């Protein structure tokens, strides 16, 4: 075991136990331990005990053979590598027995031309193993989509030209709309995945007969891309990837399925129309309110974009601190357009959110308050606010005033469902130095299997840059975390 040192760059990306999983690590949040060969053997979250370590061991060739995650639901893995394939992993084996058998297979990989063609995944949804095969579709930039035998398509990663995983949403989008699960167009498994069989209208067809049809003009070759990305541009200038459109040979067009679940969500997406060359084209809508899916035909062409007017996309609850600056905080909270509540203490925050949860899930929580490295101050300086809970942290405060609570009280309420946060919900702290509180809160939520919730805090003083946006002084950032892991930073943050 070697020396401990800070990871050298602001964002480190390391490959985790899975070939398809990536971790982003912020500067000063994790410490790495390195062995004599400068191999990263331990990743240790700063200010946490060693029980939160992620460790890995290497073989004589310098390749990882064992990987251990502190979270037992992730577990320990051993890697079986193939010398014929140049040391590539062919099988992942469970190194513990948390819901699965010790030594049982976790994943298998199938390679073609050096790239992963398919993964065999073994899952344990009901205590007995279920095998599934996932086919990986990777473009030259490394962005990938996976498809299953049953026809399901999953978005995996989207990399920019510099290799950073930019995800499927615009990080600058301060209030990303709710996005339902990716559309699931029908897909004939195995069609182009190493199987040379010809298909016509997604049905396997004799290649010789198909060639005759092509010569007579009775059939046409489909475009090279079966799926094209569909992006929704909203009236406020924001946009985000909402799924993929699939080529429909019969209609000679790409088709996307935009699911919605109820009238409320239908309202979120309507009015909806698609645009080509600045001219709006009415969408062909199918179904009626209350149906599960809404079908939209996208005109032919790669990367067609749709345009939807943003209407009440999210349920926002804005909280403003009482006290000497209540007027300013309330004015900023009102900008968000959601319900506004004032609070004195950290306990008030939790009580308000519990009450607000009674009428449905909350998409975004925005809190405006004075803050410090220990947390949110509340309406007075008596340690009555909302604070970090890690006693090893430098700014940890042992004794709190009446009404003062730690973020564990907040996360416990969220994890128990008393505070009902929607999937992919977000908590934004518009307070000075809320970075520690944000990262720790997201860490606690991630440990409780709510890693979908993002928590944002600033790493310096926050000020109103304009009437509509907050900035961070000294060129600081609003940092956004998921499971304690830094996702992205932005210099400004809209109140809305």
Return residues touching other proteins (CB under 8 A).
Answer: 324-325, 327-329, 331, 370-372, 374, 377, 380-383, 432, 460-461, 463-464, 473-474
Question: From the CB of 437, what's the least distance to other proteins, in Å?
Answer: 13
Question: From the CB of 328, what's the least distance to other proteins, in Å?
Answer: 4
Question: From the CB of 346, what's the least distance to other proteins, in Å?
Answer: 12
Question: From the CB of 277, what's the least distance to other proteins, in Å?
Answer: 44
Question: From the CB of 54, what's the least distance to other proteins, in Å?
Answer: 34
- In DSSP terms, 340 is beta-bridged to 318
**How many CB atoms within 10 Å of residue 276?**
14
**Distance in angstroms (rounded) separating the CA atoms of residues 238 and 217:** 43
Question: From the CB of 351, what's the least distance to other proteins, in Å?
Answer: 21
Cβ proximity to other proteins: between 296 and 376 the closer is 376
Question: From the CB of 467, what's the least distance to other proteins, in Å?
Answer: 10
Cβ proximity to other proteins: between 361 and 464 the closer is 464
Cβ proximity to other proteins: between 371 and 446 the closer is 371
Question: From the CB of 374, what's the least distance to other proteins, in Å?
Answer: 8
Q: Which long-range contacts (CB under 8 A, 24 or more apart) does 199-208 make?
A: 200/249, 201/249, 201/250, 202/249
DSSP string for 390-442: -TTSTT--S---TT-EEHHHHHHHHHHTSS-EEEEEEEEEESTT-HHHHHHHH
Question: From the CB of 466, what's the least distance to other proteins, in Å?
Answer: 11
**Distance in angstroms (rounded) separating the CA atoms of residues 456 and 427:** 6
Cβ proximity to other proteins: between 259 and 401 the closer is 401
DSSP string for 27-39: TTTEEEEE-TT--
Residue 40 Cα distances to 62, 191, 206, 464, angstroms: 11, 41, 53, 41
**Cα-Cα end-to-end distance for the chain:** 49
Cβ proximity to other proteins: between 163 and 327 the closer is 327
Cβ proximity to other proteins: between 182 and 372 the closer is 372
Cβ proximity to other proteins: between 13 and 324 the closer is 324
Residue 399 Cα distances to 185, 396, 407, angstroms: 56, 9, 14
Sign of CA dihedral 67, 68, 69, 73: positive
Cβ proximity to other proteins: between 378 and 484 the closer is 378
**Distance in angstroms (rounded) separating the CA atoms of residues 426 and 366:** 8
Instruction: Confirm if 436 and 444 have CB atoms less than 8 A apart.
Output: no
Cβ proximity to other proteins: between 121 and 368 the closer is 368
**Distance in angstroms (rounded) separating the CA atoms of residues 254 and 287:** 19
Question: What DSSP character marks residue 226?
Answer: S
Residue 137 Cα distances to 59, 107, 226, 418, 461, angstroms: 30, 17, 11, 40, 44
Question: From the CB of 331, what's the least distance to other proteins, in Å?
Answer: 8
Cβ proximity to other proteins: between 234 and 383 the closer is 383
């Amino acid at each position: 075991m070697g020396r401990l040192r800070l990871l050298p760059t602001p964002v480190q990306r390391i490959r985790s136990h899975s070939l398809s999983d990536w971790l982003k690590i912020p500067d000063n949040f994790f410490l790495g331990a390195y062995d004599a060969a400068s191999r990263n053997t331990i990743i240790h979250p700063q200010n946490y005990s060693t029980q939160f370590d992620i460790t890995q061991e290497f073989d004589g060739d310098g390749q990882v053979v064992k990987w251990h995650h502190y979270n037992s639901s992730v577990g320990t893995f051993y890697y079986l590598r193939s010398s014929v394939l140049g040391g590539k992993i062919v099988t992942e084996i469970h190194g513990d027995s948390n819901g699965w058998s010790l030594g049982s297979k976790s994943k298998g990989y199938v390679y073609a031309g050096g790239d992963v063609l398919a993964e065999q995944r073994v899952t344990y949804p009901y205590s007995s193993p279920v095998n599934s095969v996932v086919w990986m579709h990777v473009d030259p930039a490394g962005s990938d989509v996976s498809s299953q035998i049953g026809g399901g398509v999953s978005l995996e990663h989207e990399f920019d030209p510099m290799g950073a995983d930019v995800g499927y949403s615009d990080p600058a989008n301060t209030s990303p709309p709710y996005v339902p699960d990716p559309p699931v167009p029908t897909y004939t498994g195995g069609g182009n995945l190493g199987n040379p069989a010809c298909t016509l209208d997604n049905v396997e067809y004799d290649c010789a007969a198909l060639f005759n049809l092509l010569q007579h003009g009775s059939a046409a070759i489909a475009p090279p891309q079966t799926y094209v990305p569909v992006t929704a541009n909203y009236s406020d200038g924001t946009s985000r990837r909402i799924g993929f459109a699939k080529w429909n040979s019969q209609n000679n067009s790409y088709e996307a399925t935009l699911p919605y679940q109820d009238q409320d969500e239908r309202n979120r997406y309507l009015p909806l129309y698609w645009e080509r060359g600045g001219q709006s084209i009415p969408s062909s809508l199918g179904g009626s309110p209350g149906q599960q899916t809404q079908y939209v035909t996208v005109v032919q062409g790669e990367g067609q974009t749709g345009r939807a007017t943003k209407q009440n996309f999210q349920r926002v609850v804005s909280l403003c601190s009482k006290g000497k600056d209540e007027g300013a905080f309330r004015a900023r909270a009102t900008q968000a357009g959601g319900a506004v509540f004032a609070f004195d203490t950290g306990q008030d925050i939790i009580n308000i959110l519990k009450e607000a949860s009674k009428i449905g899930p909350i998409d975004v929580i925005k809190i405006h308050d004075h803050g410090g490295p220990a947390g949110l101050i509340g309406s007075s300086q008596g340690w009555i606010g909302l604070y970090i809970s890690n006693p090893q942290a430098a700014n940890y405060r042992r004794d709190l005033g009446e009404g003062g609570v730690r973020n564990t009280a907040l996360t416990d309420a969220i994890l128990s469902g008393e505070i009902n946060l929607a999937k992919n919900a977000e908590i934004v702290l518009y307070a000075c130095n809320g970075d520690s509180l944000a990262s720790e809160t997201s860490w606690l939520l991630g440990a409780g299997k709510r890693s979908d919730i993002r928590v944002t805090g600033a790493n310096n003083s926050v000020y109103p840059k304009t009437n509509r946006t907050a900035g961070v002084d000294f060129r600081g950032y609003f940092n956004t975390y998921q499971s304690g892991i830094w996702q992205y930073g932005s210099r400004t943050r809209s109140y809305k």
